[in-house]
Amino acid sequence: MTIDTEFVRERTYWPELCLVQLAGEKDVVVIDTTAPGIDLSPLGALLDDASVVKVFHAARQDLEIFLHLFDRLPAALFDTQVAAMVAGYGDQVGYDNLVSSLLGVQIDKSHRFSDWAARPLSPAQIGYAAADVTYLRLVYEKLLVQLEREGRLDWVAAELDILNNPTTFRPDPLTLWEKMRPRTNNRRMLGILRAVAAWREGEAQRVNVPRQRLLKDESLMEIAATAPATVDALARVRGVSRGFAEGRSGQALLETVAQAVMEPEAALPRLPKGRAKDAQRPSPALIALLKVLLATCCETHRVAPKLVASSEDLDRFALDDAADIPAFHGWRNEVFGKLARELKAGHLTMGVDGGKVRLIHD
């Protein structure tokens, strides 16, 4: 079964589900999830059925919706975007481009930016939504044949394990501060930032507004640096209105700051290695070499570079031989990881032959 969703999220934390599109071998169904009194429990039962493979393209947001709606992820899922990256169709290839590459069909994009919450929807809009699952079956079948032929189904399965894990969509709130990439060594400031970032996430969920609309990252960084203890001090922070500071949310935020200020020194966080202002920086030349090696390996194996190693992964390895990054595990290690270690140890060099990079082993 192929499946897709249409939703709006500009003004809310939780996506507002508007349509669910489903397609089997013969039938295509478009479900109006906004219909008054609609019962979606049969959909939940279908998603739970492990005997039916659920095929998505770029599944993350769809899965987040279903996890929020049913408090569980669909069983037996498959993501054609992940499969396409493994099969050599590029980084995060879009559905339209994949349909064009594999099927030679150009999808009408005129309704891509529709307001899916508006009613009634036109027949053309419904047709556009249905096309998202109609062609997806053929895409899935072609990718499956290619992956089986190349022996890469296990590669895809390893990536799908990430999507099958609810923690992928429900990260620990106490780790969210790291995404803001602070560059201070002040552990007290980092402790406050950790606390207020976790508070913001919970508050954004409670009032159902986007986290950046509730409070921007820059405001949280300033709060962490200044540790406001009063309404007046909080209202002086950039991006914090007087009304917010005086209200329920402002009071809860001040209490969170006060608790973080009193946290024991030993419990305060530290920056990950390489993040602080005075931290050692990776050699630009080494990073450049690793990027060339990554591109070369991925070109040879026809796999998307982003699936093998991120820029941050390369930075971490350049700074620390013992860095535990995905590139040193499983199929990634065979494609790139082993060679990256050889390169850094001086046992691998690279040259150019006939316009192509050639790897030269000791």
Task: State the pLDDT at residue 113.
Answer: 86
Residue 278 in this model has a pLDDT that exceeds 80: no
Distances, alpha carbon 129 to alpha carbons 55, 101, 234, 298, in Å:
15, 20, 46, 34
The tens digit of pLDDT for each residue in 28-48 reads 999 999 999 999 999 999 999
Give the residue-averaged pLDDT of 257-274. 91
3-27 pLDDT, tens per residue? 999 999 999 999 999 999 999 999 9
Give, as one character, the DSSP assignment of residue 142: H
Look at 139-148, 275-284, 325-334 and tell me which has the smallest mean pLDDT.
275-284
Note the CATH number of domain 173-267.
1.10.150.80
Does 2-168 match 284-361 in CATH topology? no
Residue-range domain boundaries for the chain: 2-168, 173-267, 284-361
Report residue 275's pLDDT band, with 50, 70 and 90 as the boundaries. Answer: low
Task: Please state, for a pLDDT cut of 90, what percent of the chain lies above it.
Answer: 90
Say if residues 83 and 142 touch (Cβ distance below 8 Å): no
pLDDT at 303 over 70: yes
Is the pLDDT score of 198 beyond 60?
Answer: yes
In the predicted model, what is the mean pLDDT of residues 218-239?
A: 98
CATH number of this structure's domain 284-361:
1.10.150
Q: pLDDT confidence of 139, banded at 50, 70, 90?
A: very high
CA 316 from chain center: how many Å? 20
Distance CA 5, CA 31 (A): 9
Task: Calculate mean pLDDT across residues 249-259.
Answer: 98
| Structure confidence at residue 277 as a pLDDT band (50, 70, 90) | low
Q: Are 3 and 75 in contact (CB under 8 A)?
A: no
Find out if CATH 3.90.1150.10 is the number for domain 2-168. Answer: no
Confidence (pLDDT) at 112: 85
User: pLDDT tier at 271 (50, 70, 90 boundaries)?
Assistant: confident
| Cα distance between residue 350 and residue 296, in whole Å | 10
Instruction: Band the pLDDT of 92: cuts 50, 70, 90.
Output: confident
Per-residue pLDDT, 183: 84
Mean pLDDT across the stretch 64-81?
97
Mean pLDDT of 71-92: 95
Confidence (pTM): 0.88
Residue 207: which pLDDT band, with cuts at 50, 70 and 90? very high
Average the pLDDT over 57-83 and give the result: 97
Placement of tokens 């201070």 in the chain:
184
CA nearest to 95, candidates 125, 133, 55, 57: 57
The pLDDT of residue 273 is 65
Sorting pLDDT into bands at 50, 70 and 90, what band is 110? confident
- Of 157, 132, 131, the C-alpha closest to 144 is 157
Residues 6+ apart with CB under 8 A from 66: 47, 72, 73, 74
